[in-house]
Amino acid sequence: MERSVKLECRGVWKIYGPHPEDFLKKHNDAPTSEDFEAAQMVGAVRDANVQIFEGEIFVIMGLSGSGKSTLVRCLSRLVESTAGEINFEGRNLLTMGDSELIDVRRKKMGMVFQHFALLPHLTVLQNAAFPLEIQGFPLKDRENRARQMIETVGLQGREDHYPRQLSGGQQQRVGIARSLVADPDLWFLDEPFSALDPLIRREMQDEFLRLQSMLHKTIVFITHDFDEAIRLADRIAVMKDGCIEQIDTPENLVMKPATPYVEEFTRHIPRAKVMRLKSIMSAGVPENDYAGDLPGHLTVADTILQLDDSTLPFRVLDEDGQPVGTIDSRAAIDIMVGRSAG
């Protein structure tokens, strides 16, 4: 089934420096790195073209200064693009007036940033309900909705706590509850877990995946951590110097890098972390003599212990829970050691 496009940008540029529109026109909408250097301009985002589909987790990643956060701010129009077109649910964000844009942000978009930005004088419940207060919801309605979101993110019982009484991971959960309270159609997360220690970060990734399995949001997630990206993403855009080098699934980025930069960027990623069972399964489904069922979206790394413990193959299930193939420990080990099948 063809997926609908939720957010799309075409030919988006963000250039910093004097008269960026004139600079772009002077170079026929295709300035080179040398042109930028000669004019002492900065091409923070360069000719970005992206389609983000309904219900997917789309990760934008790159090193510091690659342009990933600037691109997200362009997509949400927190900064004004120098050129291009950004369509959200078929409407061009760049032609919206201020009041229409504010309405879209309040009702259609949720945002979570690296720094939690909780209001210190408000309780957990009041922080979570704050977007609905801005929209003018009655007190009872907004508190009921906020309580639901607090429970969803696992903070029930802490409604009357203040931010200073919470751990970093708990504060980020409040930020997530606040961003979801208005039930946004599009959810932006800009390095939301990078300020957390590794153990809490892993727990928050698990929580994020749990929430997505419940809510099925369209998500744009920014990170510089490739391990985090491949764990969370349906598709990944890799950026370098303001340009998008490749947009693809985690598997294809590792197995079929489109540029030398992407190849180098993914060189040390173990294949078992990105190869999903549905990609390496054998055709045919046994009716008898199989060890059990495994979802096809799981990776080899997720399932290697189960596979290795059994002398029988497992059936691989599609998204609807139907068996579509077979996987055994030999196929998984081939991936882990980089050996060709057969």
Q: What percentage of residues in the chain have a pLDDT greater than 90? A: 62
**Domain CATH number, residue 312:** 3.10.580.10
Question: How confident is the prediction for the chain on average, in pLDDT?
Answer: 91
Same-domain check for residues 190 and 297: no
pLDDT of residue 33: 93
How confident is the model over 236-280, as pLDDT tens digits? Answer: 999 999 999 999 999 999 989 999 999 998 988 888 889 889 988
Same-domain check for residues 191 and 309: no
Q: What percentage of residues in the chain have a pLDDT greater than 70? A: 98
Domain final residue pick, 270, 292, 310:
270
Residues near 298 by beta carbon (within 8 Å), at least 6 away in sequence: 276, 277
Q: State the amino acid at position 168 in one-letter form.
A: G
Higher local confidence (pLDDT), 70 or 207: 70
Domain final residue pick, 243, 270, 297:
270
Residue 342 placed within a domain = no
**Domain CATH number, residue 246:** 3.40.50.300
Q: In what order do the strands lie in the sheet with 109-113?
A: 109-113, 186-190, 218-223, 57-61, 235-240, 243-248
pTM above 0.75, yes or no: yes
Residues linked to residue 223 through DSSP beta bridges, in sequence order: 61
Residue closest to 293 by CA, chosen among 275, 310, 276, 313: 313
Same-domain check for residues 248 and 157: yes
Higher local confidence (pLDDT), 172 or 44: 44
Residue 341 placed within a domain = no
Same-domain check for residues 177 and 36: yes
Confidence of residue 342 (pLDDT cuts 50, 70, 90): very low
Count up the domains in the chain and report the number: 2
Same-domain check for residues 172 and 247: yes
For the beta carbon of residue 53, count every other beta carbon within 10 angstroms: 16
Task: Report d(CA 17, CA 12) in Å as an integer.
Answer: 16
Does residue 314 register a pLDDT over 90?
Answer: yes
Task: Report d(CA 295, CA 321) in Å as an integer.
Answer: 7
Lowest mean pLDDT among 13-27, 69-83, 102-116: 102-116
Does residue 15 register a pLDDT over 90?
Answer: yes
Residues near 112 by beta carbon (within 8 Å), at least 6 away in sequence: 172, 175, 176, 179, 187, 188, 189, 190, 192
User: What does the DSSP 8-state code read for residue 134?
Assistant: H
pLDDT of residue 285: 86
Confidence of residue 1 (pLDDT cuts 50, 70, 90): low
Same-domain check for residues 298 and 263: no
Same-domain check for residues 327 and 185: no
Highest mean pLDDT (candidates 79-88, 186-195, 269-278): 79-88
Same-domain check for residues 118 and 213: yes
SS3 track for 208-224: HHHHHHHHCCEEEEEEC
Does residue 340 register a pLDDT over 60?
Answer: no
Same-domain check for residues 214 and 83: yes
Domain containing 190 equals 5-270
- Output the six-digit token pair for 235: 């598709």
Same-domain check for residues 168 and 215: yes
Residue 229 placed within a domain = yes
